[in-house]
Structure 1
Amino acid sequence: MVDPVKVAVIYYSATGNVHALAQAAADGAEKAGAQVRLRKVPELAPPEAINANPAWSQHRQDTADVVEATLDDIDWADAVLFGTPTRFGTPSGQLKSFIDTTGGLWRQGSLANKVYSAFTASGTAHGGQESTILALSNVFYHWGGIIVPPGYTDPVQFKTGNPYGTSHVAGEGQPGDVPLEAARFQARRVVDVATALRAGRAA
């Protein structure tokens, strides 16, 4: 029996929007037959900043049981989906800080030839969603990764309008059915491509 493709869903979420997308992505990958690790990156904000925002503080309590990401999660995976809120059109400092620790794996060539994809949320409809995903793609280029966007390859993508990666407008509340299904589809597509790549290499 062929071992399942291994997928890591690694994300940062302050108030829960990206967390919901990450859960949907993990669900989509699992239903596509992958072995999945759902991981959050460490929080770097000071307690006083978190406690000043009730939604942020509550979300931190609600996700206390989510395992924190380590470099082993990337090394283990055949494919990685990264999730982050936008921060002025770029990834959050928390996710970027985690990515900045990957230099050792990069030097070893351990990050190359894996499948990568990204998703995000912003406060407004034009709040930097595409530029945030493109910024993460710059990282994947340096790693020698294989970038798999959702594109317009499923009907749900014509509802979200973002071929770069699943995105959500946090100002409208928690993600509803459309962005959650888009995240599931994006993860399924990642699994399909990772599976095909592994089969091709084996052949």
Structure 2
Amino acid sequence: MSEESRLRETICTLAASMFDRGLTHGSTGNISVRLPDGGLLVSPTGSSFGRLDPARLAQFDAVGRHVGGDAPTKEMPLHKAFYDTRSTAGAVVHLHACHSVALSTVSDADPDDFLPSITPYAVMQLGRVKLLPYFRPGDPAMGEAVRGLAGKRSAVMLANHGPVVAGKDVEAACNAIEELEATARLALLTRGMNPRLLNQVQVQELATTFNVEWDA
């Protein structure tokens, strides 16, 4: 099996797993992966994570031309912004995950540090998560907002919409966005209970040990 064929199958397998576990629903969410030649494989517009077809994934060449498959997600500007600003990005995943969306609506959410440091794993896999304001789905301004971060964040939360995470490969990106949703769920479960969070010394130790961009 070629590397491209393997990636097509992996995208669909991971997307179906997230759909089956309720991490996104209906025709929501989108996913992209960088190919070895610099091109991209992207989930089609209006498609369901539960029913992606490897042969119908949108394909782009290294200069950004649509060269195969169905029409891509309308969130292409968002995906492209991560690839253009983060040289290490090998995949980008966007979900409409319930608990992270709910957490984005609370009035005291910190735009610069959206996700509380409840467990070490969120720090290790995501770094500091930026909460971006609400944008209309498909609005190119979402991509511009990501570009404005100059590649300093691997994960953002679109207010009232959903999380977006870039990873070194598709497995890492999916693992990280699942960690984001799990931590958001923990934050909601412990809301109002004055939970004991990791302190700054503990967070900094994690950031140093696992080479996390925490101070960005």
After TM superposition, the score normalised by the length of structure 2 is 0.29
Highest CA radius of gyration, 1 or 2?
A: 2
Higher relative contact order (CA 8 A, sep 6+): 1
After TM superposition, the score normalised by the length of structure 1 is 0.31
